[in-house]
Structure 1
Amino acid sequence: MGSAARPGQPADDGPQPPERLVRTVTAWEGEAGREWLALLPARVAGLLADWRLGVERVVAAGGQISMIVLVRDEDGEPAVLKVGMVNRETEHEHAALAHWGGRGAVRLLRADPAQGAMLLERLRADVSLRSLAEPKALLEAEGVLQRLWVPPAEGHPFRSVADTTGELAGLLRERREAAYAADAAELIDQALAAQAELAGSAGAVETVLLHGDYHQGNVLAGERMPWLAIDPKPLVGERAFDLAWLARDRLSTLAAQPGSRTTARRRIAKLADALEVDAERLRGWAVFRAVEAGVWYLSVGGREDGELLLEFASWL
């Protein structure tokens, strides 16, 4: 983990990335991930010095492609330093947080977008909505989303759902031909058809700023508000897209209980009704997102996760 540093003084080698981060970045990003990991300790040490931060500890169970460090500023106030890989999903995270201004989401204190670095308000990292009973968790999740769904600013940098899913659909067509996806061909065709129809009619649906990766694990307990969202992969588009991940939350638990298919369909209907979105559009996006993610997991060797997501899509 590296030795703690006083504000303004980097540790000798910088805090070391936790094993979970090393494992996921190496598996998902290959050589580019290994190069990023090699530079990460020095990058974090530089940020600690430049922003005059003192380290408390690295969060071992932090992000999958980002390093999370609990810090204190030079006034002793607690904060979180997040340093992640910059890609098309993450490059505008800081812009979304700035636009929300702490309304429904963690507050952005400082950012260096080129380095994928943000200084964030300290939340309770060990208490997410998944600590609540499911009915209560879904109710709280709906309330947070309603605060996040605001019009984007004029000249915003965010990509659209239609463009983003169009690119993902192209990759999904390519992966359909791979041996690992042979058993999923019919589901893939259904998902591609859903994406084409939904993206083609996106102009008829109101556009808002979306979280993009919204699930119960990305909503943490806070001090100034009970629950705040973290880790957005922001897009602009229709609300139903943001609900697609929430619809399959706690999937392992859902799959293990009797009547999983009925429960999944009922959840779609309840979410659509509670947040006033079209249930068929939500179902279509849930199918596409689950199939696209499931096939991606298969492509990187994550068969268990991939097959579970594909099973969920089949229920819908």
Structure 2
Amino acid sequence: MANVHDRLEPPERLVRTLSSGPAYGEAAQQWLARLPITVQEYLERWELTPERVRTPGGRTSLVVLVRRSDGTPAALKLGLPDGTPVREHAALVHWDGRHAVQVLDADPAAGALLLERLHGEVSLRSLAEPKAQLEAAATLQRLWVPPPADHPFPSVAEHTAALAGGLRELCEEPWAVVDEALELREALAAGETGEEPVLLHGEFEQGSVLAGERAPWLAIAPRPLVGERAYDVAWLVRDRLDTLLASPGAAAIARRRVAKLADSLDVDGERLRGWALFRATVAGVHEAAAGRRRQGELLLEFAGLL
């Protein structure tokens, strides 16, 4: 039994994130300490047999590969019960397996989701970059549907206002791009897009699309919002960041990527550039503040190129 308990221990990445990030406090520590017990409770409740914990895993959730009572493979995901799993569950239920992972069972208020098993080791990043971007764009476009009535999802304007608040205070160095990012957000949030708001994935990148059995590619781990499509495309602009920044003419490559994505997904190129710059800046400042300085500097350098 001790061996089973050991297999349910949180991976190092999750422990490190919740221990160092400025956004996490005592409640997160208590959730983390109790996590092996929580996993065992859901294994028993849903009659699951554990195989192993996915590593390195996410920064705020634990995924255990399991078998259901009939032998069907599945994935038990436990996230911080901070409202994020409730919104993730609502989006996945609304998509109902269309181009996204299927929900098999759930206790969203407690942060527990039982999901269909995908090939976690095979994401779009396993493809050559041009092919990966084509597949990513096709998947993302199909997720853009009208949100359900009385949905729990924040708007892009609300979400980015919260991100912008206190950004300068988090920034330990006087990065000029921070001022530009905040000014751009104000203009983008206030501007008219001329399009109907749609359900957005919220954290869409090549790594959040995995190979499946019932469909070639399925999206996972949404942080859903409602708003304009250009916001959802922004993370694709900075995909494979290390390779992009190491390439000669990185700024020109970044601008071409913005133009190609804007054209293929029919979004406004300037709005896409603005959201990509804002999101990269926010992510860079938060990474640096959490002690992941190198990644933070890379993101801020990338934002400067835009």
1:71 maps to what in 2?
66
1:181 to 1:90, Cα distance in 2 relative to 1, 3 A: farther
Cα distance in 1 for partners of 2:69, 2:182 equals 52
Runs of 4+ in 1 over 4 A off after TM superposition: none
Distance 1:151 1:67, change over 3 A: same
DSSP-derived class of the 1:69 partner: strand
Given the two structures, how large is their TM-score scaled by the length of structure 2?
Answer: 0.95
The Cα shift of 1:203 comes to: 6.2
TM-score computed with the length of structure 1 as normaliser? 0.92
What secondary structure, in the 3-state scheme, does the structure 1 residue paired with 2:51 have? strand
Q: Share of identical aligned residues, percent?
A: 59
1:256 to partner: Cα distance? 0.8
Return 224-233 or 21-30, whichever deviates more.
21-30
Distance 1:133 1:162, change over 3 A: same
1:171 corresponds to 2:170: no
Given the alignment of the two structures, is residue 106 of structure 1 paired with residue 101 of structure 2, yes or no? yes
- Shifted more, 28-37 versus 63-72: the winner is 28-37
Equivalent residues of 1:181, 1:298 under 8 A apart: no
Match of 1:240 among 230, 236, 246: 230
The one-letter amino acid of 1:80's match is: A
Consecutive unaligned residues of structure 2, counting only runs of 5 or more, are: none
Partner of 2:47: helix, strand, or coil? coil
User: Partners in 1 of 2:105 and 2:199 — Cα distance?
Assistant: 21
Identify if the C-alpha distance between structure 1 residues 260 and 89 changes in structure 2 by more than 3 Å, giving closer, same or farther.
Answer: farther
Q: 1:60, CA displacement in angstroms? A: 2.0
Q: Does 1:62 align with 2:52?
A: no
Cα deviation digits, residues 196-249 of structure 1 (max 9, x gap)? 011112564321000000011111000111000101000001100011111100
Q: Check whether the contact 2:7–2:53 (CA below 8 A) recurs between aligned residues.
A: no
Q: 1:115 to 1:97 in 2, by over 3 A?
A: same
Give the counterpart letter for 2:180 in structure 1.
Answer: Q
> Partner amino acid for 2:257?
R
Match of 1:265 in 2: 255
User: Aligned-pair distance for 1:89?
Assistant: 4.3
Q: Secondary structure at the match of 2:75?
A: strand
Match of 1:140 in 2: 135
Instruction: Name the residue aligned to 1:193.
Output: 183
Structure 1 residue runs of 5 or longer lacking an equivalent are: 5-10
Residue deviations 1:137-196 (CA, integer Å, cap 9, x gap): 0000011101111000111110000001011111214335xxx132x0x21111011100
Query: 1:206·1:238 contact (CA, 8 Å) conserved in 2?
Result: yes
The verdict on how the C-alpha distance between 1:305 and 1:88 changes in structure 2, with shifts beyond 3 A counting, is farther
Cα RMSD (Å) of the superposition?
Answer: 1.6
